[in-house]
């Protein structure tokens, strides 16, 4: 069977709750985010996942992803990987989309990127690195990371331009699976938050 990649977005933070672009600022989880991370872990330790004993696990080194990984019960098995860090939002770090629109009407991250931050090409290259790693594995892999980089990884897994990421929402503490259908890359599960209900 071809390897799949399981994507876990970090739990809720104050900035994600407010819609602020949180790139490299190391924001901690809220209590709600910690609770969600534990519920995600409980889900992944039950059937059909059953603790994912054979999976290789990697996490962004940023505190919100690392803590989500730890609280979900995978911290001891996870290796930190800078490639999974969130998009560097440069001059737009900490701003909401509304605030950015006031500065730059019509702006769209997935088309226009950010001043003083990462370009579309740089983010796409990082996403491609994750996809290449996952596809070269001999087993499924699990990553803990952030909304925009995970959406970027999904776009590139599917062979789409990075801009495809604009069309696939991803909520805090969600679980997604990138797999295969009829021999082609596919979204097997996306933005699943059933464990939070």
Phi, psi of 148 (to 5 degrees): -75, -35
Tokens of 131: 């996809």
Give the contacts of 151 (CB within 8 A, at least 6 positions apart).
165, 166, 168, 170
Residue 11, number of CB atoms within 10 A of its CB: 30
Q: Is 10 a catalytic residue?
A: yes
- The Cβ-side half-sphere exposure at 8, using a 13 Å CA radius, reads 33
Q: Is 146 a catalytic residue?
A: no
* 8 Å CB contact between 57 and 142: yes
CA-closest candidate to residue 84, choices 169, 24, 172 = 24
Catalytic residue among 21, 56, 67, 86: 86
Beta partners for residue 13, in sequence order: 29
Element (H, E) at 56: strand 56-59
Cα-based angle 128, 33, 92 (whole degrees, multiple of 5):
55
Active site residues: 10, 86
């Amino acid at each position: 069977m071809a390897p799949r990649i399981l994507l876990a977005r970090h739990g809720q933070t104050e900035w994600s709750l407010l819609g602020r672009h949180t790139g490299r600022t190391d924001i901690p989880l809220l209590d709600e985010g910690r609770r969600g991370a534990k519920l995600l872990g409980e889900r992944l330790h039950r059937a059909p996942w059953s603790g994912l004993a054979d999976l290789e696990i990697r996490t962004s080194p940023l505190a919100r992803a690392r803590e989500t990984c730890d609280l979900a019960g995978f911290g001891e098995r996870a290796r930190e990987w800078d490639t999974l860090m969130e998009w560097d939002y440069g001059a737009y770090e900490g701003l909401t989309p509304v605030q950015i629109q006031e500065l730059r009407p019509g702006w769209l991250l997935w088309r226009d990127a950010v001043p003083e931050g990462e370009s579309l090409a740089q983010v796409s290259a990082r996403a491609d690195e994750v996809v290449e790693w996952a596809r070269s594995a001999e087993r499924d892999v699990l990553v803990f990371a952030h909304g925009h980089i995970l959406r970027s990884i999904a776009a590139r897994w599917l062979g789409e331009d990075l801009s495809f990421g604009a069309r696939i929402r991803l909520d805090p503490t969600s679980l997604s699976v990138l797999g295969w259908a009829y021999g082609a890359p596919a979204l097997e599960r996306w933005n699943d938050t059933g464990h939070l209900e």
